[in-house]
Amino acid sequence: MNKRYFLYFVIFIGLFTSCGLIHNLPDSTSPNTGADPNLWYSFVDQNGNFYPDNWKKNYGIPSNKAARDPYSLMKIASDRGDREQLLAFERGNMLRLSKRIAPKKRVFILIHGFNADEESVVKQYKYIADHIVTNPKTDEIIRFYWDGLRSTSPFRSAKNWFSAASFSQMAGEFGLRRILNNMADKDVYIISHSRGASVVMSAISNPEYNSSFSAQAKDIHKVDIERAKPLLENKNRITCIMLAPAIGLSEFQYTDTTSNTKKFVELSSQVKKVHITINGTDKMLKKFFGFLSNKLNPTDLGYKEESFNALKKNYTIFSMTDFTGMSSHDFSRYIRDPKFKQMLREESIQVQ
């Protein structure tokens, strides 16, 4: 990093280190459950484990909800010898979801971004569901919540970025992927915002983790990333709609250890379409200094059209809608822009 980049880096980090972080925790005592006629709630922790019933009573909550504390469901369960009990709940929960989805034709999965908690996301999920024409007998809507962390600081957008970036990968590989593996022959529409795009990519491909994060996940949180189960080829037809995707080209690449070069990942044949937004005026995506968008856990895919064009050369299933002119990164702004409804229509989703 040259002196200019380093100076901007220091400014960027310094602005956002004024207060502690908060885990995104469920309010309900039964966070993973269904609600008639066609709604399912899925809530995972920082490692992608699903919160069991009565989780507060059985697992407690982090002290002051501080994200720096080594708190996770699997860590607590393993430390006290209840690991199998947590895994049994997850298996049972996935079985219930699988049976519920079995008669359905379409599944809509809504995924929020980083720096968000359940309370701040509920309204956005409801807005999307209210504007999509669904049939309760043939369609299911899954509200997916993950630990994107949240800060009480007015300069909150960066301090949680580095941890949330890894948590999004865990939420996708160990959480969302399990959901996808428990449905077959469905038309699946995944609508994500911001870092939620990383949750999606980590579910449908194999993410590369920071080595120190992988070691910490295994040593402290008792989660072995090397043993993650692959995405099953269940003949689903997956369409990904990514609003303000806070990811970069690197999410679609892996390191070939033989040649020591970067290569593009091979996506599952189930992924039929990836429709993203491009916004050259989104202040968060350009990290306030545009050249930083492809550094410090890149966000250039949602910011630079040239990044989209590079992917388009390797993946013909990509399309994009330009949101340039809107400076906000807020979930609420993106879904209320008329262009969002047009994106849905382009993917054969009827709106109202």
Spans of all domains in the chain: 3-346
Share the mean pLDDT of the chain: 88
22, 179, 276, 282 from 245: Cα distances, Å: 23, 21, 7, 11
H or E segment to which residue 50 belongs: none
Q: What is the pTM of this model?
A: 0.90
What pLDDT does residue 56 have?
94
Q: How far apart are CA 90 and CA 99, in angstroms?
A: 14
Rounded to whole angstroms, how far apart are CA atoms 145 and 112?
7
| Distance, CA of 142 to CA of 34 (rounded, Å) | 9
User: Does the pLDDT of residue 346 top 80, yes or no?
Assistant: yes
Cα(327)–Cα(311) distance, integer angstroms: 24
Q: Please give the residue that has the higher pLDDT: either 13 or 198.
A: 198
Q: How confident is the model at residue 221 (pLDDT cuts 50, 70, 90)?
A: very high
Q: The tokens 């369960």 sit on which residue?
A: 77
pLDDT digits over 100-122, tens only? Answer: 999 999 999 999 999 888 988 99
List, in order, residues 6 or more apart from 177 with CB less than 8 Å away: 202, 203, 204, 228, 229, 231
pLDDT of 154 strictly over 60: no
* Angle, alpha carbons 27-31-37 (nearest 5°): 115
Q: Cβ neighbours of residue 118 under 8 Å, at least 6 residues apart?
A: 24, 25, 26, 27, 43, 145
Question: Which pLDDT value is given to residue 156?
Answer: 52
pLDDT value at residue 208: 81
Determine the Cα–Cα distance for residues 273 and 184; give it in Å rounded to an integer: 17
Cβ(6)–Cβ(131) under 8 Å? no
Burial 144-167 (b: 16+ CB within 10 A, else e): bbbbbbbbebeebbbbbbebbbbb
Per-residue pLDDT, averaged over 311-325, amounts to 95
pLDDT at 222 over 60: yes
